[in-house]
Structure 1
Amino acid sequence: MVVYTEGCRLTLSSKALYFESLGVGQYDKAAQYDLSTDLKQVIKPELTGPLGARLFDKAVMYRAVTLEEPIFLEFPEFKGSSRRDYWLDITLEILLAHRFVRKYHLKGFQESEAVARAILGIFRCRAVREGFYFFSSHYKTLLLFNLAENLPGGDTILETLSSCLAHLRTSSTQADSYSSGSVCTEKQHMVYPVSLLALRRFGLILQEDVEFDQEATYGSGYIHVGEVDLLEAAVKQSKVDTGKAVAAQETVNQVKVDGIDANIAIMKELLFPLIVLAKRVQFLASWEEPFKSSVFLVLMCYLFVSGWFKFVLPFILVSLAVLMLWHRLANKGKLVDAFRIIAPPNKNAVEQLITLQEAISQVETLVQAVNIVLLKMRALLLAVLPEATYRVSIFFLLTAALFILVPFRFIILFVLMEPYTREMPLRRESSYRWLRRLREWWFGIPAAPVQLIKHEDSKKKK
């Protein structure tokens, strides 16, 4: 892991990011991190700190296939992370602009126009940041490609923009012919590389082989005659979708609660119908009332044997659709009543930590049990216990033959009915003996050995 701190110079160009460390009286040779070619680059915020501790959220990570390990650029400041956020956003803007160019196969001055739009957005962001002495998240709207990456329907905006860039013109001859009253039967789009022209007038040249008429007057936007501006329509639709997404996110933020007990209580209430259904099925499987259990068994067997079971899932989906449509017609836009849940008793910080520790312990126990199962399966696969491996292989062969010879719906019926009929009076004793022998056989299988090797980090840290 390489961590860069103060005493360096960072430069962002239209194609790469350059890092220069401070040597003796001058900067060392710059390290270049390409942003224009497809190197599977990943740029994201990262936590760094002394001795590998993840303490400070003030770094940017850059990863690419050309690097053996990611690099981290630190932007230390006393409070906040505005410097890091600024460099992260403008670097992502250049990276996303080149991804846009590659995705839609833009060439020549079309590619230069796309990159020029990203550069002008960065200039505007920098001007706002320098003018107000801070960088707010709202200023990210000045970065076209960064914004389109996060907006609902942003891909549609970029697709429409690519089609607009396909009609770029570097001459105003056609515009003059339209203004002089010439008639044309085809609808034509007149789109000029205004961003590229603006950078050219600022003295920044992205492409030298593009000829501009310095005395001509170019349109400042997309000129459409007799039709709707497709880019403007895509942006308006994205604004509508964004408003819906923001409103939905506000409702999500309102229902978030703190505490494990409170979240578990909410989950139990939301899953209450399924819990009740599972309890009823479990009650039928206990055979405490043989008549009800027998009726349910006969009904399930009839559904599978007659082939009606394939209509159960469509029936459930149709019922849910009808229920939702009925609620839509009945409510007529009215607000839904709040879901009332009895809150669990409050716990102090120590009790919450104990609850969290118990939950972590249960998860650890579950992971250990899963690992034991996997290691025993590995032992069976490698024939650590030859007799058990022979039995399992014979069982697999018989199961394969069963899948070939028996219709699949009968196999599903057997898989569902076997645990359901275990507590049946006719099967109770035999099922108990069979499960006991199965557990004893499973406990007698040794686990495959595991050796933990201590990780040695021999890589140099700079």
Structure 2
Amino acid sequence: MAMKLKYLSSIAEEVVAKCAQKIDISVDKLVEDFEKGWTPDEGNYCKNLVEFCSGKALTQMCHNIGEEINNGSFGRLSYDIMLAWERPTYYDDDNEHLEAEAKEKEEKKSTVKTTQEQDDISLFYSDIMPLLVSNEPTVGEDAFVWLGSLVPLVADVANGRFTFETLTAPTGLRLHFPAYDMFLKEMEKCVRHLQKQATPTGVELAEDECIIHVEGTASSQRVIRHIGTTSWPGRLTLTNYALYFEASGVIRYDDALKIDLRNDAEQSVKPTATGPWGAQLFDKAIVIESTDLSEAVVLEFPELTSSTRRDHWMALIREIMFLHQFLSKYNINCPIQTWEMHARTLLGIIRLHAAREMLRISPPVPTKFLIFSLYDEIPKGDYVLEELPDSLRKVNSGKPCSASSILKSMHIDGPVVSNTIVEEASQVDKSVDVRDDSPSLDSAIKQSREEEKRVLVAKATTEELKDEGVTDSVLVLTELLKPLQNAVPWLQKIFTWEKPIATVAVLALSLIITYMEWVGKTAAAFLVWVIIKMLKAREEKLNEKCNEIVISRSNMASDQSTMDSIVSAQHGLYTVHEMMQIANIAMLKIWSILISKADKLQAIE
């Protein structure tokens, strides 16, 4: 046994010892229990040992996970578990040492070579990085998602990869311990904050109804309901079943207006604009329409600059609507499985609240933390949702590390389920037959994620081409207008009376044409002149001399910084671009008619 343990990495050996201490047995006894069920066919001994010990310790900690998070023991041990899972053998220690040396050399090079781009980095990164980064080894995406499969607190297997990507975007897609520990503690604070919220006035919440988000109180930002030309401030409360709005009274809130989000009736939540006396000036509101409502409910979330609050609320409301649509569509009627899905959704919303508290300067995209909103948005997300019911039936909600059990240990109770229903659910779980030809949940998630990346690349390429097209259109238009450059100064001299004789002649000719009503004859004379020019061009064989129009980019070199160029591209005038294209096409057609040949454009550097 000692011979096998020596192959463990230093962090893996430390984790095994901590796990044994946590479950109050010796390391030898823990390893002996593991070897009773392990066979060489299962693969990596060290990694399997780490997984076995981690599962035992985490199960023990999930019984009182709130206190474990507060005292820091859960964060420290679970982070070390992820490190050990990534580096289970002593070979990984050598690789880690080499990576550290390479990273140190790279950092030295980067400090010597300062570029213009570094001067343009947003203050967000320089402000937040000291809080998120440490010199400890960092954790990757696979380890984070694997931990989420054991304890669906920090991540859910359905969207854990998207959550990790959002959390680690400022730190190079590597998770540092300070950020991880802060994330856990913010989640625990969020749960305690929600538990303190008052029940909406005149409402009795259901047994398994939990408050998810509240705004409009004295300690939070305002929420305003618009009814016609009148506006009513009040408190807005969202639960996992409904949305409640209580108009502010003189002393207390009025009875709450309930908008049930679990009905199968036609419901929609859309962004809208509001303003004083019904004028649509500020795009910071949502409108909720339903067949159960006599009129649409318009709620505004005032803020100075962006519409972040509105987008946040709209994402949460849609998530609850999608949750009930999912349960109804796949006929998930078992109370245990239903509450487990509710619990997973609630934990996703709690993660979103925690991430928003961590990243206040640049709030994350809400859908990256919400299961149903995410897969409703990205390509092939329906494939993942089709796999969720099967994975849900395999989950034993009675385990300490299930989503519902975690919420219960954090004092968020679900419905009371009889023993008969529990036994029936366990029998159903054993009889579940998953089709062999259907893709697994993990493969469906990877496929959907790859499709999302392709779509993002395609959109970025389209925008880039569109931005570059503005510059090309300017070049083409400038080149086509070159023949008129000599005429423009001459016309300016006429209009400014720098050539009085020419100006008087033009005025006299204009008056004669107007007085004698020779406008038609003048147009005919102009067309005859154009025909003469065309015949002259054919006689001089201009169609053979002008095979192509050459446009040079050399005079378009930009002295802008990288950040200025990006901003300019983002705020490009797409309407001007289209107008330039139309003008270029029209002028090319006219030129082709004049010389009786279509030209080819050639751009040279």
- TM-score after normalising by structure 1: 0.47
Q: TM-score, length-normalised on structure 2? A: 0.36
